[in-house]
Amino acid sequence: MPTDIRALLEPVSVAVVGASADPRKIGGRPIDYMRRLGFPGRIIGVNPARREVQGVACVPDIAEAGAIDLAILATPLDGAEAAVLACLKAGVRGLVLFTAGYAEVGAEGRLAQQRLADAARDAGAALLGPNCLGALNVPARLPATFATTLEVLDPKPGWFSYVGQSGALGAYWLEMADAAGLGIAKWITTGNEAQVTGADAIAYLAADAHTRIIGTYIEDIKAPEAFAAAALAARQAGKTIIAIKAGRSAAGARAAATHTASQAGDAAWYAKFLDDCGIIPVASLTEMIDAARLAGARVEGIAPAPYHAARIGMVTVSGGAGVLVCDAAADHGLAMAELSPDECAALRDFLPFYAPATNPIDVTGAVVSDRSLLPRAVEILGRASTCDVLLLFYGGMASIADDLVAAVRGATAYGKPVVVIWMAGPAAAVAAITAFGVPVFTDIPPAIAAIARLRTAGEFSETMI
C-alpha cells in the first residue's frame, strides 16, 4: 500500500519548526508564502526564543502547538532528528524535512536517515525528504516550501502536477509551466525519499481531482512494483505521466548518488520499464512542458482524440514551412497524411492554380485576400480519415489575426488534436487560441518533437505489477 500523503498536501493546521522572523531565511519563507498566498488554515511557529514571527504566534515546543496536521521542519542537521521525533510524539501526521546531510553524504547519514524513516513509518506518518524543497498545493494555497521562485511567482491553479527528486529543477519547472500558461495543481519534491517516494506521490496524484498530467524527474525508482502500480492507477484514471530519467550516463549516475543518494541503475532497463508503464520519456524540462501542452489540451472542456499514429495534416501559409515540417516529421518517424484523389480534387477546386493540391496544404499569401481558403483547407483535412493531427502554420499576418484564430477554432470541431505553430504571432491572438485549449508553438522542431513524444508513448503492461 502506498504511504498516505494527504497530510502533506491537504492540512488544516501547519506548524513551522525553526520559524524565523526573517522572510528571506529558510525557516521564514514558508510562513511568508503561506500568508501571502492566502493559506486558509491555522499557522503556528515553533521557536523557543520568540512568541511571534511575521504576525504568527510561536510556541517553544511542538507539544504546545495543539493539533497539527503538517510540520515543516527548517532545522539544522544536529537538531533535525530530535525535531522529527518530537513532531511524531505530538501526533503530527505529515512532516516536510528540508535538512540535508543524510544518505547523500555517506554511511552515517544513511543510518540517520533510516532511523527517521522507521520512526515515521512506525507512527503512521508521512515524511517528505530529507534534503527536499517541500511541496505545494496550488488550489489549496499551501506552499510548504522555501523555493525562492515563490518570491515573485503566484502560480495559477490548473491541471499540471510535478513529482521530482530534485527541488531546484522543480522550481525551474514551476516557472516554466507558469510561463507556458499551464495551471498547476500539486508540486512534490521528494529529495532523498527516506520514506515518501515518487511512487507514493504518483499514487496520490492518480486520485487527485485537480491533476490531469504528471511531470516527473527521476534519478532512481526505489520500489519498481509500487511505481508500476501507481502508474497503472494514473493511466486508469485517464492521466498522462511524462518523465525525465536522469543519471543515464556513468557521470550522471555518480552525480545522482551525491545529489539524493540515488542508484541511477541501468539505462536500458529504465527505458524499457518506463515504456512498459506507458510513460512518455523526455530529455529536458522544455520537452516536458511541450509534451504537457499537447497531452493536456482541452477545447472548452472536451478532450480531443488521442494521437495514435500521428499522421499529420498541415495547412500552412508558407510552402517552405511545409517542407520543414515534412523533414522534421520524417526525423521523428512520423508520417504526413496521404490524401485521396477526391480530396486532392476538392483542394484543386479552390486553391490558387500555382499551389499544389496536396498535403501539406499551402494556402499561400492569397489567404490575405481570400479568407475562405483557410477554413476550406482545414475542412478537407478535418474530414480526411488518414489525418490524425491537424497542424496549422502561421507567420505574422496580424491584419487577419481574427480570421486565423477563427480557423483554429473551426479545426477543433473535427475531434482531432490541433496544434498551431505561429511565428511572430500577435500576443492577443496567441492568447486567445491558448485560452480555448489549443497549444501554440513559435517554431517547428519543438512542435513536431512533442507530437512524436505523445505518439510513441507505450501501452501500460499490467504484467509489471
Give the residue, 309 or 323, on which the prediction is more confident.
323
User: What is the pLDDT, as a whole number, of residue 365?
Assistant: 84
pLDDT band at residue 220, thresholds of 50, 70 and 90?
confident
Q: What percent of the chain has pLDDT over 70?
A: 91
| pLDDT at 263 exceeding the cut of 80 | no
User: What local confidence, expressed as pLDDT, does residue 461 receive?
Assistant: 40
Q: Which of 33-37, 166-170, 429-433 has the highest mean pLDDT?
A: 33-37
68/91 Cα distance (integer angstroms): 7
Report d(CA 418, CA 325) in Å as an integer. Answer: 15
Q: Kindly state the cell numbers that stand for 31.
A: 510562513
| Pick from 224-233, 255-264, 326-335: least confident | 255-264
Per-residue b or e along 299-336, where b marks 16 or more CB atoms closer than 10 Å to that residue's CB: beeeebeebeebbbbbbbbbeebbebbbebbeebebeb
460 versus 245: the higher-pLDDT residue is 245
User: Is the pLDDT at 342 greater than 50, yes or no?
Assistant: yes
* Contact (CB, 8 A) for 17 and 62: yes
Q: Are strands 142-145 and 134-137 parallel, antiparallel or unpaired?
A: antiparallel
* pLDDT for residue 303 is more than 90: no
Res 54: pLDDT: 96
Task: Specify the DSSP element, H or E, that contains 31.
Answer: helix 29-37
Average pLDDT of span 283-296: 90
pLDDT category at 458 given cuts 50, 70, 90 is very low
Q: Cell 512533442 maps to which residue?
A: 450
C-alpha of 54 from chain center: 32
**Mean pLDDT rounded to a whole number for the chain:** 90
Q: Place 460 in a pLDDT band, splitting at 50, 70 and 90.
A: very low
More confident residue, 310 or 441: 441
Cell of 386: 488518414
pLDDT score at 457:
58
- In the chain, count of helices (H) and strands (E)? 16, 19
The 8-class DSSP code of residue 398 comes to G
| Banded model confidence at residue 304, pLDDT cuts 50, 70, 90 | low
Residue 259 pLDDT exceeds 60: no
Is 110:103 a contact under the CB 8 Å cutoff? Answer: yes
Structure confidence at residue 104 (pLDDT): 84
Please state the pTM of the whole predicted model. Answer: 0.85
Q: Does residue 185 register a pLDDT over 60?
A: yes
pLDDT of residue 248: 57
pLDDT of residue 462: 41
Q: In terms of DSSP H, where are the helices of 217-369? A: 224-236, 250-260, 267-276, 285-295, 319-331, 341-350
Residues 6 or more apart whose CB falls under 8 angstroms from that of 163 comprise 188, 190, 198, 201, 202, 205, 214, 215, 216, 217
Q: Does 459 have pLDDT greater than 80?
A: no
Average pLDDT over residues 201-206: 97
Joined together, the cell numbers standing for residue 226 give 509500487
> 204-208, 221-225, 276-280: which has the highest mean pLDDT?
204-208
Asked if pLDDT for residue 252 goes beyond 80, the answer is no
Written as nine digits, the cell of 130 is 530529507
Question: Environment class of residue 351 by beta-carbon count within 10 Å: exposed (0-12), middle (13-18) or buried (19+)?
Answer: buried
57 phi, psi to nearest 5 deg: -65, 145
Segment 361-375, tens digit of pLDDT: 998 888 888 889 999
Would you state the cell numbers that stand for residue 18, as one nine-digit string?
A: 525553526
pLDDT of 397: 84
Does the pLDDT value for residue 49 go beyond 80?
A: yes
Q: Find cell 512542435 and name the residue.
A: 447
Work out the average pLDDT over 17-33: 96
